[in-house]
Amino acid sequence: MEDKKLTFVMYPWYAMGHLTSFLHLSNKLADRGHTIFFIHPTNTLSKLEKFNLYPQLINFISITVPHVEGLPIGAETTSDIPIFKQNLLWQALDLTQQKIESLIQELKPHFILYDFAYWVPLVARKYGVKSIHYCSITPSSVGYLMRGEKPTPEDEMMEPPLGFPPNSSIKLHKYEARLIAALHSIGKESSGSGSGLGSGSGSGSGSVSFTRRLLLAFQDGDVIAFKTTKEIEGPYCEFVENKFKKPVILAGPILPEPIDTSNLEENLSKWLEKFQEKTVIFCAFGSECKLKKEQFQELVLGLELTGLPFFAALKPPFEAETIEDALPEGFKERIEGKGIVHSGWAEQQLILSHPSVGCFVTHCGGNSLSEAMITEGQLVLVPNFGDQFVNARLFGGDLRVGVEVERDEENGLFTRESVCKAIKMVMNDESEEGREIRANRAKWREFLLSKGLEDSYIDAFVQKLQTLL
């Protein structure tokens, strides 16, 4: 049984972080000779192909994202739309139900991995296929944030749920609890709409709220799987297993493959090489995060205030068309030669691996933290939404591998001074707290890169799946 080669179908949510996360796992499975059919929105192929290390075993299947009224023409992923229109993309995802069913019928896989397509288990069971909810967010986030279908009052959301691991550092600030409550209301079900499960066509299922969608995804699959290790999140995995009464299996850290930094864009590479090792600050907030203009300006002024060279990859803020429009007066002239604020695509993994980079200011997205944990730069945490708040407490509190930027408890605003203070704390030798954080960073990096760790997790992952057949 151990030598049986398996066939997997992957159907991740239409967000680049989810797509690449599923593809990284696909590479690890293909490395062991298993066959993968990877379903993705048509126009994402060019971004995904370069990460496919086993083209003979990982087969891409392009899917046309159905158009839903209100969705911009050609919108395929979350980076194409504002967050308040995500419910329309969920509706589009649900309208692919018949297409996915026909693929399952044709391909006859052993397993299908999904995340937001909560109806996959129902379809898979019809054909004797096992369904795995491969969750792109951390077990700690799932355990803390998934409280039930009814909205959790803000004051309750600030505290962990009953039975949550007692030694956890995870709690929410008032403004964070308020934002989580707002997320709960996105795509709220209209009265009498039902869940949309079993509709066959997926019609009407776009009315399923975000919270219900996730609850169904966790409750209906055969297994819940996470990209983590028991050493980092063991108690949270047990909490999730008990909560959903489902087996939880861990795929391990799923580290990005080693990369050659000589592939970094030439102009940026030459610019970084002007500076000493570990002196450059790299700031990146992902492909979706947009700040308000005032906070955008405080962030870049905070980077300037450190006196260190910096490269910031940020989207223009809400109130500006371009980065240039958003920069503070006189800022561009002052940072000439020492700082860059860039609005285009940034090769994050390549930049993080560059010898000159010594600090990463991050929005705490799961993939960004995974990439950062195996590099040597220090971590400064600026969570913006949803599970990023929990990730920041996990990495800044439980693991003590980074420092969060201080913010106002009521409104979540940070200042240039608080940005500068956090960066200097992790980069200077003078602070005892900074020394402790850097030592922890080194310890966890060594653990994640330790020989055989990742292989042992992937092998155990496959073996546990074999027992389900």
Mean pLDDT confidence for 178-204: 51
**Per-residue pLDDT at 204 exceeds 60:** no
Residue/partner pairs of 146-153 with CB below 8 Å, 24 or more apart? 146/211, 146/214, 146/215, 146/218, 146/243, 148/211, 148/215, 149/209, 149/211, 149/212, 149/215, 151/181, 151/184, 151/185, 152/180, 152/181, 152/184
Amino acid 264: pLDDT: 80
- 317-373 pLDDT per residue, tens: 999 989 999 999 999 999 999 999 998 778 888 899 999 999 999 999 988 999 999
**Per-residue pLDDT at 203 exceeds 50:** no
Amino acid 363: pLDDT: 96
- Which one from 34, 40, 94, 115 is the annotated catalytic residue? 115
**Closest Cα partner for 34 from 468, 467, 461, 349?**
461
- 268-326 pLDDT per residue, tens: 999 999 999 999 999 999 877 889 999 999 999 999 999 999 999 999 999 998 999 99
Q: How confident is the model at residue 189 (pLDDT cuts 50, 70, 90)?
A: very low
**Per-residue pLDDT at 454 exceeds 50:** yes
Average pLDDT, the chain: 91
- 61-85 pLDDT per residue, tens: 999 999 999 999 999 999 888 877 8
Q: How confident is the model at residue 185 (pLDDT cuts 50, 70, 90)?
A: low
Amino acid 200: pLDDT: 35
Residue ranges covered by each domain of the chain = 7-189+209-256+451-467, 261-449
d(CA 279, CA 275): 7
- Which one from 18, 40, 110, 133 is the annotated catalytic residue? 18
Amino acid 262: pLDDT: 67
Burial of 460 per CB tally in 10 Å (0-12, 13-18, 19+): middle
Owner of token pair 């959301």: 157
Amino acid 290: pLDDT: 87
Amino acid 84: pLDDT: 79
CA–centroid distance for 349 within its chain: 14
**Per-residue pLDDT at 102 exceeds 80:** yes
d(CA 38, CA 22): 9
Q: How confident is the model at residue 194 (pLDDT cuts 50, 70, 90)?
A: very low
Amino acid 257: pLDDT: 74
Amino acid 255: pLDDT: 86
Amino acid 15: pLDDT: 92
d(CA 444, CA 400): 10
Beta strands 310-313 and 378-381 are: unpaired
* 261-449 is classed CATH 3.40.50.2000: yes
d(CA 121, CA 128): 10
Are 7-189+209-256+451-467 and 261-449 equal in CATH topology?
yes
According to the 3-state scheme, what is the secondary structure of the chain?
Answer: CCCCCCEEEEECCCCHHHHHHHHHHHHHHHCCCCEEEEEEEHHHHHHHHCCCCCCCCEEEEEECCCCCCCCCCCCCCHHHCCHHHHHHHHHHHHCCHHHHHHHHHHHCCCEEEECCCCCHHHHHHHCCCEEEEEECCCHHHHHHHCCCCCCCCHHHHCCCCCCCCCCCCCCCCHHHHHHHHHHHHCCCCCCCCCCCCCCCCCCCHHHCCHHHHHHHHHHHCCEEEECCCHHHHHHHHHHHHHHHCCCEEECCCCCCCCCCHHHCCHHHHHHHCCCCCCCEEEEECCCCCCCCHHHHHHHHHHHHHCCCCEEEECCCCCCCCCHHHHCCCCHHHHCCCCEEEECCCCCHHHHHCCCCEEEEEECCCHHHHHHHHCCCCEEEECCCCCHHHHHHHHHHHHCCCEEECCCCCCCCCCCHHHHHHHHHHHHCCCCHHHHHHHHHHHHHHHHHCCCCHHHHHHHHHHHHHHCCC
Q: What's domain 7-189+209-256+451-467's superfamily in CATH?
A: Glycogen Phosphorylase B; (3.40.50.2000)
The tokens describing 245, both together, are 């009464």
18 is annotated as an active-site residue: yes
**Per-residue pLDDT at 42 exceeds 60:** yes
